Amino acid sequence: MARWNLVLAVAAGTTLAVAQWFVWVYAPMEVVMGVVQKIFYLHVPLAWWAFVCFFGVFVASIGVLWRKSLRSHAVAGVLAEVGVLLAGLALVTGALWGKAAWNTWWTWDPRLTTTLVLWFVYAGYLALRAADFGARGPVVCAVVGIVAFVDVPLVFLSARLWRSIHPVVLGQGGGMEPEMWVALGVYGVAIGLMVAAIVLLRWRAVDLQGRVSQLALQQLLREESRI
């Protein structure tokens, strides 16, 4: 696992470096916003991969209910942590972009509002995992992890279902040049590799923590048996 972590980290760093050339040199400058529009190439992949992580939480939570798998419960926790981080960064970069595009850091636009709700929902999910529900904890968290995913398609469709000032990137072309799509794709792959490296590293930490706790419990049981 350590070797894969190293491979993913190197691949992510290399691809992120290459992506900078595509963003700053290959992709044309947007006419209206100018250089500020370059935030788009970071903002959109952060949101996309946050959705992927939350979908992973959804699938792992089903695994918890279906197979009573504690391993799936741990995987859901790791993916939720990374997803909340990515969604938070998407909100921050979106605010920076919004200030230049709309002359305001925040507006209660449907896309922005549903994304903020999504962040709070999964932050609450992480807080719920920290609570003590005893043996029922994984099941309770799994139910919340499944229900929380309802907001993900709502975020994606919000700019289409309601009047929104947020641009629709997919489905209508987004008014983008082909070079912009290439730059976005390269940056998306780079962020994906980075997310994979973070998830794997975090999973390794959780796995090692579980093994240490198990060894500590076994040692405690041995000592009690000697008394």
Name the domain count of the chain: 1
The pair of structure tokens assigned to 28 is 């044309």
Q: Which residues contact 62 (CB under 8 A, 6 or more apart)?
A: 142, 146
Q: Which pTM value belongs to this model?
A: 0.87
Nearest residue to 190 (alpha-carbon basis) of 20, 9, 12: 12
**Cβ pair 103, 97 in contact under 8 A:** no
Confidence band for 3, pLDDT divided at 50, 70 and 90:
confident
**Cβ pair 187, 26 in contact under 8 A:** no
Nearest residue to 183 (alpha-carbon basis) of 31, 45, 36: 45
Rounded average pLDDT over 59-88: 94
**pLDDT for residue 29:** 86
Q: Which residues pair with 207 in a beta bridge?
A: none
Q: Which domain, by its residues, includes 14?
A: 2-163+174-226
The pair of structure tokens assigned to 217 is 């419990």
Tell me, yes or no, whether 31 lies in a domain. yes
Q: Which residues contact 142 (CB under 8 A, 6 or more apart)?
A: 61, 62, 64, 65, 73, 76
- Dist CA 139 CA 73 (whole Å): 9
Among 70-79, 112-121, 201-210, where is mean pLDDT lowest?
A: 201-210
**Cβ pair 95, 118 in contact under 8 A:** no
Please check the confidence at residue 221 and state whether its pLDDT lies above 90: no
Tell me, yes or no, whether 151 lies in a domain. yes
Q: How far is CA 206 from CA 78, 130, 210, in A?
A: 8, 14, 6
Tell me, yes or no, whether 168 lies in a domain. no
**Cβ pair 95, 105 in contact under 8 A:** yes
Tell me, yes or no, whether 219 lies in a domain. yes
Confidence band for 226, pLDDT divided at 50, 70 and 90:
low
Q: Which residue has the higher pLDDT, 184 or 2?
A: 184
Q: How far is CA 54 from the centre of its chain?
A: 7
pLDDT tens digits, residue range 11-55? 999 999 999 999 999 999 877 788 888 998 999 999 999 999 999
pLDDT tens digits, residue range 87-132? 999 999 998 888 887 788 888 888 888 999 999 999 999 999 988 7
What CATH number did the domain enclosing 58 receive? 1.20.120
- Dist CA 188 CA 194 (whole Å): 10
Q: Which residues contact 57 (CB under 8 A, 6 or more apart)?
A: 76, 79, 80, 83, 122, 125, 145, 148, 149
Please check the confidence at residue 219 and state whether its pLDDT lies above 90: no
Please check the confidence at residue 210 and state whether its pLDDT lies above 60: yes
The region that residue 27 occupies, defined by phi over 0 for left and psi between -120 and 50 for alpha, beta otherwise, is beta
pLDDT tens digits, residue range 146-186? 999 999 988 888 767 666 656 666 655 456 788 999 999 99
Q: How far is CA 68 from CA 76, 98, 146, in A?
A: 13, 44, 15
Tell me, yes or no, whether 169 lies in a domain. no
**pLDDT for residue 207:** 80
pLDDT tens digits, residue range 179-203? 999 999 999 999 999 999 999 999 9
